[in-house]
Amino acid sequence: MNLKSLQFFCEVVETRNANLAAQRLHVVPTAVSMQLGQLEAMLGAKVFDRSTRPMTLTPLGRFIYPKAKALLADAQRLFDEAQDMASGHFGWLSIGFTRSTIFSVLPDAVRRMKADLPKVRVDLTEILSEHQGEALRSGLIHVGLSRTLGPRAEEDDLDYFPLFDDALVAAVPASSAYAKRKRLTPNDLAGMAFISYPKDPESSFARSTIQALEQAGVKVRVGYEAKEIHTALGLVAAGLGYALVGRSVADDSRGDILFLPVQGLAATAQVYAVRAKGVSHQLADDFMRIIAQQSGAR
């Protein structure tokens, strides 16, 4: 169906006058008559009763008018969104993240992205660092926010962008005897159960935190294995033990947990972004600029 014919038809309906419709459309009146004739020929019936003055809609005209208005609105919206997408102002951005980044760069970066480009749809998918490469290759995500402790195994088809280093601290119950302490010793932790996370056979973070504690002289006794950091912190708050988290988690402090450095614990987690090498994506570029600016201020 010819959208121009529908546009002219709707204009005549709303002005109730073909000559006035022509003025608003910046065309001659014969152009309006021609488009209406084409529409009626295509439909096989009249849309206006021309025996009345002003013209009135026939039953067919009354039927198609609201549908024509909706169709024209959809077409205009499609055109506007296509223009915005072509200019990089509209589209879809999928971000994969490790849950600990919720406490640091992720929320502010997404808020800034939505403020700068409100028409962009941003999807967030929780994915462990070890699985983000596969998600990038499949197109499930455009950018990954990862964290690693110790040496990072880099893959040839991925690009890595360091964001910030996150010193490790112990999360202990606020109700513990260490409420007034500024630092813990290895002996302080020896009698407490360690809450390990994430519980995933492909994640190296849990193993690396235990090794870091042992290198600091802590005798580690694993009491619980949590699937993710929020569960681990919940167990800490319940007084069931302690966990090791990045300092950035302490920035989002809660009243039922203390975050204290451990004497001799030198391990530091690295937070970084990862993208598929050679894949162009304007919105991913925009997000990378935002998150680089924010992490550089940390």
Give the mean pLDDT of the chain: 90
Indicate the domain borders of the chain.
Answer: 3-87, 92-163+271-296, 165-269
pLDDT interval class at 87 (50, 70, 90) = low
CATH class of the structural domain 165-269: alpha beta
- Report the topology of domain 3-87: Arc Repressor Mutant, subunit A (1.10.10)
Residue type, 56: T
Predicted local confidence at residue 252, as pLDDT: 63
What is the arithmetic mean of pLDDT over 120-130?
90
pLDDT interval class at 135 (50, 70, 90) = very high
Lowest mean pLDDT among 26-40, 70-84, 161-175, 265-279: 70-84
Predicted local confidence at residue 104, as pLDDT: 84
Cβ 144 vs Cβ 132: under 8 Å: yes
Predicted local confidence at residue 271, as pLDDT: 93
Q: Do domains 3-87 and 165-269 have the same CATH topology?
A: no
Q: From the options 3.30.830.10, 1.20.58.1030, 3.40.190.10, 3.20.20.80, give the CATH code of 92-163+271-296.
A: 3.40.190.10
